[in-house]
Structure 1
Amino acid sequence: MGSSNSHPNSVDAQTESAPGLYRIESASNDSDPPSNQHRIQSPPLKSNFNEMLNNPRSSPVEQNNTTSQRFYRISISTFNLLELVDGYLNEPIVSLEEALEPVGRTIIDLPTYIEEAKTKCHYPSEHGLSRDESAAIYIYTMALKEKTFFDHFQEAWISRSRSTMKPWVKYIRLFRSALDKLPRAEDEVWQGMANDVMLEKILTSKSPFLYSCLSSCSPWNSEVVDYLQKNVSKNLMIVGYKSVNGRSVTGYTADQMDEVIIWPGVKLTPKHYVIVKETSSIIVHLVRQAGKLSCHIFMHFSVY
Structure 2
Amino acid sequence: MEPQRTALVPDRSDRYANDTLVELQDINRCPIYGYQHLPLQSLEEATKPIVPFVPNLVEKVALAKRKCNKNSTTLTLDESAAIYLYTMPISFFYCLNKSLRAENREELKPWLPFLKLFMSALEKLPSSRTVVWRVISKNITSDINRGEIQTWWSVNSCSIDPNLLKLYYGKESTIIRIQPLHGKDISLLSAFQSECEIVLPPGTRLRVQNGAFNIEERFFFMDLEEIPRSSQQHNWLVYLKIDIEVAINS
TM bracket (short chain): 0.7 to 0.9
Residue 178 of structure 1 and its aligned partner are, at CA, apart by 0.7
- Residue 238 (structure 1) aligns with: 175
- Structure 1 alignment gaps of length 5 or more: 1-61, 294-304
Establish whether residue 273 from structure 1 lines up as the match of residue 211 from structure 2: yes
Residue 220 of structure 1 and its aligned partner are, at CA, apart by 1.3
2 CA distance for matches of 1:194 and 1:65? Answer: 8
User: Match for 2:116: what amino acid?
Assistant: R
The verdict on how the C-alpha distance between 1:259 and 1:96 changes in structure 2, with shifts beyond 3 A counting, is same
CA-based RMSD of the aligned residues comes to 2.7
SS in structure 2 of the partner of residue 94 of structure 1: coil
Aligned match for 2:143, one of 182, 188, 202: 202
- Structure 2 alignment gaps of length 5 or more: 1-6, 234-250
2 CA distance for matches of 1:186 and 1:284? Answer: 18
The verdict on how the C-alpha distance between 1:165 and 1:84 changes in structure 2, with shifts beyond 3 A counting, is farther
| Equivalent residue runs for 1:17-96 within 5 Å | 63=8, 69-73=14-18, 75-79=23-27, 83-96=30-43
Aligned match for 1:228, one of 168, 171, 180: 168
SS in structure 2 of the partner of residue 272 of structure 1: coil
* Residue pair 1:79, 1:211 contacting (<8 A) in 2 also: no
Given the two structures, how large is their TM-score scaled by the length of structure 1? 0.65
The verdict on how the C-alpha distance between 1:234 and 1:65 changes in structure 2, with shifts beyond 3 A counting, is closer
Residue 151 of structure 1 and its aligned partner are, at CA, apart by 1.7
2 CA distance for matches of 1:85 and 1:72? Answer: 24
User: Match for 1:263: what amino acid?
Assistant: P
Establish whether residue 171 from structure 1 lines up as the match of residue 117 from structure 2: no
Given the two structures, how large is their TM-score scaled by the length of structure 2? 0.77
- Residue 247 (structure 2) aligns with: none
- Give the share of equivalent positions with the same residue, in percent: 27
2 CA distance for matches of 1:216 and 1:124? Answer: 23
- Residue 31 (structure 1) aligns with: none
| Equivalent residue runs for 1:151-166 within 5 Å | 151-166=94-109
2 CA distance for matches of 1:285 and 1:207? Answer: 11
* Residue pair 1:215, 1:263 contacting (<8 A) in 2 also: yes
1 CA distance for matches of 2:24 and 2:146? Answer: 13
Q: Work out the number of aligned pairs and report it.
A: 220
1 CA distance for matches of 2:26 and 2:125? Answer: 28
1 CA distance for matches of 2:26 and 2:56? Answer: 35
Residue 183 of structure 1 and its aligned partner are, at CA, apart by 2.9
2 CA distance for matches of 1:152 and 1:274? Answer: 29
- Residue 98 (structure 1) aligns with: 45
* Residue pair 1:184, 1:245 contacting (<8 A) in 2 also: yes
Aligned match for 1:142, one of 60, 63, 88: 88
Structure 1 stretch displaced more, 71-80 or 161-170: 71-80
- Residue 35 (structure 1) aligns with: none
Establish whether residue 264 from structure 1 lines up as the match of residue 202 from structure 2: yes
The verdict on how the C-alpha distance between 1:99 and 1:243 changes in structure 2, with shifts beyond 3 A counting, is same
SS in structure 1 of the partner of residue 177 of structure 2: strand
